[in-house]
Structure 1
Amino acid sequence: MLTREAFAARTGVSRETLERYETWRQLLADWSRHTNLVGRATLNDFWHRHALDSWQVTQILPATGRWADLGSGAGFPGLAVAFAMQEGSGGEVVLVESIGKKAAFLTEVVKATGAPARVAPVRAESLDPGPGFDVVTARAMAALPKLLAYAHPLLKKGGKGLFLKGAKHQDEIAEARKAWRFKSRLHDSLTGGGGTILEITELAHA
């Protein structure tokens, strides 16, 4: 089990960013007493199962520009991206979460940490893309074919998807290629279990 100190040593985040993660952890623990935000069995393994799992996304693509985190839930990985933006050159994350209690939790974390994020309490297919997003992320939201359908109208030209997937990701990729054309790159997950972060580029209808 990863400790707060071990997480800091492994990631090299600043003291200020570590405090934002700690605020997130404490609020998650408080809210989980009355609201189902994550599997209760994972709460004691926050630093590995949630923090490190989310942080690794920021090592694949620079945390700048406009990001949309679909089905954000308790903020994984969107809040970690927003924290990285606070350390770097800036940007904004839109946390897309249609379930009211989860959206309220995200709003409280954003307020408590000052993260450059805003909560969109809508379904992914209803999100206004505005000028488009540079990156669309999702963790444990939907199978890849459906994720690509959500992401396609949101991504600006040259935009990318980063999707955290489990051990059966190759099956999802094969199924998605029946309806979509895209380039994919796999990044092994730091949290193990055969998981991967799937980087999608050049997404288009087949």
Structure 2
Amino acid sequence: MLDEGLDADGFRERTGVSRETLARYETWRSMLEERNAVMNLVGRSTLPDFWHRHALDSWQIQTHAPEADHWLDLGAGAGFPGFAIAFALMERGGEGSVTLVESVQKKASFLRDVADATKAPAIVKPVRAESLDPHSRYQVVTARALTSLTRLIEYAKPFVDNGAICLFPKGARYGEELTEARKSWTFNLDVIPSLTSPDAAILRIEDVTRV
């Protein structure tokens, strides 16, 4: 079921999040709208469709690894999907966290401000993805609109080798990206239909080996 034109109440009904979690999304949306007026966090034309285009699209990621509590979000940008995952971890309780990797300092500053305002269990690392400690352990690696699948797999491989899975949301050209990625990598793949577009998918990738 698609949800174009979704509002805050519709998002809560669709996802079952608590009122406290919805308030965190509202804080995030408000801060994004304010900061996006002076810096490029997301396309301005997408903000009116925040609840469908950004919130629901990000929220769905964590539903495919509900047991995971240590996540790595590469190229976190405005916090999609990282904060949606962090908010879900807060609802569940426990000691989980999301590491948000963002090399652009202004964007990293925004991420810190949202984490502070919402008390989200988010760790902001203002570095490039390729400079991360390859021995770090995460259960899931994700990234939204960062780079090609081929490059994403390269960034994620050290963490996959340490036991992580990848959940990469991709748009309508994901088939082409898979064809290109398979020239460099072999991997186990599950293509999961997206809740927000009939042409998009979430690519669950495990057991990565270089060709």
TM-score, normalised on structure 2?
0.94
Q: Structure 2: any 5+ residue segments left out of the alignment?
A: none
Of the three residues 58, 63, 67, the one matched with 1:59 is 63
- CA displacement 1:168-194 (0-9 Å, x = unmatched): 111111111111110111111111150
- CA displacement 1:43-95 (0-9 Å, x = unmatched): 11100000000000011111633211000000000110011110114411100
- CA displacement 1:124-146 (0-9 Å, x = unmatched): 00112443211110011011000
Distance 1:27 1:114 in 2: 14
Cα deviation, residue 205, structure 1? 1.6
Aligned residue number for residue 10 of structure 2: 6
Aligned residue number for residue 171 of structure 1: 176
Distance 1:61 1:160 in 2: 9
Do the aligned residues in 2 keep the contact of 1:95 with 1:120 (CA within 8 Å)? yes
- Partner letter of residue 60 of structure 1? H
Aligned residue number for residue 77 of structure 2: 73
> RMSD across aligned C-alpha pairs, in angstroms?
1.2
- Partner letter of residue 149 of structure 2? L
Distance 2:174 2:201 in 1: 8
Number of residue pairs the alignment of both structures matches: 206
- Partner letter of residue 34 of structure 2? D
| Structure with greater strand percent | 1
Of the three residues 26, 32, 45, the one matched with 2:49 is 45
What is the percent sequence identity of the aligned residues?
53
Of the three residues 139, 146, 151, the one matched with 1:146 is 151
Q: Structure 1: any 5+ residue segments left out of the alignment?
A: none
Of the three residues 124, 128, 131, the one matched with 2:133 is 128
Comparing 123-132 and 40-49, the one that deviates more:
123-132
Question: Is residue 39 of structure 2 the alignment partner of residue 35 of structure 1?
Answer: yes
Comparing 85-94 and 41-50, the one that deviates more:
85-94
- Partner letter of residue 151 of structure 2? K
Do the aligned residues in 1 keep the contact of 2:78 with 2:110 (CA within 8 Å)? yes
Distance 1:129 1:86 in 2: 27
Do the aligned residues in 2 keep the contact of 1:131 with 1:156 (CA within 8 Å)? no
Distance 2:28 2:135 in 1: 28
- The 3-state SS of whatever aligns with 1:154 is helix
Aligned residue number for residue 204 of structure 1: 209
Distance 1:58 1:135 in 2: 9
Of the three residues 13, 21, 24, the one matched with 1:20 is 24
